[in-house]
Amino acid sequence: MSDATRKAFDERVERALGDPAMQRVLADGQDYVQELIGPARAEPDWPAALDEISRVRLATLAHLDRYVDEFATTSSAPAGAPSSPPTPRRPAVTSPVRRASAASSSW
C-alpha cells in the first residue's frame, strides 16, 4: 500500500470511529454476537468449533496485510468502477457443528 493510500485509509478510519451512527451499529452488532454465544457454547461440538475459529483467525492474521490492502484499494475506487475479481470466500457456516465439518476443507 502506498503512503498516500495508507494516509487516506487512516483518515477514513478516524472519521468512521468518530461517527455516532457507526458507533451505534457497532454496539448493536456486539449485542447481537453476545446473544449468539450462549447457544453456540451449548453445542456438543463447541471444542471443535473453537479449533476451527482459531484456525480461521490465524489464517486471517497471516494474510491481514493483503486483506487490508485489497479493502483499501476497492473501497477507494469510484462507485460502479470495475474491480478485480472477488477473492474466493468460504461459505457461511451457521453452527459449530457445520464449522467442524467445514474444518476438513482446505483454505
Q: What is the pLDDT of residues 36-74, one digit of tens each?
A: 888 888 888 989 988 999 999 999 999 999 999 998 888
> Is residue 59 assigned to a domain?
yes
Does 57 lie in the same domain as 19?
no
Mean pLDDT rounded to a whole number for the chain: 80
> Whole-model pTM?
0.40
Specify if 60 maps to a domain: yes
User: Is-contact 107 90, C-beta < 8 A?
Assistant: yes
Identify the CA nearest to 98 among candidates 59, 62, 61, 48: 48
Q: Do 96 and 57 share a structural domain?
A: yes
Share of the chain above pLDDT 70, in %: 73
Domain that holds residue 61: 44-71+92-100
Do 37 and 57 have their domain in common?
no
Same domain, 56 and 96: yes
- Kindly state whether residues 12 and 23 are assigned to the same domain: yes
33 & 52 share domain:
no
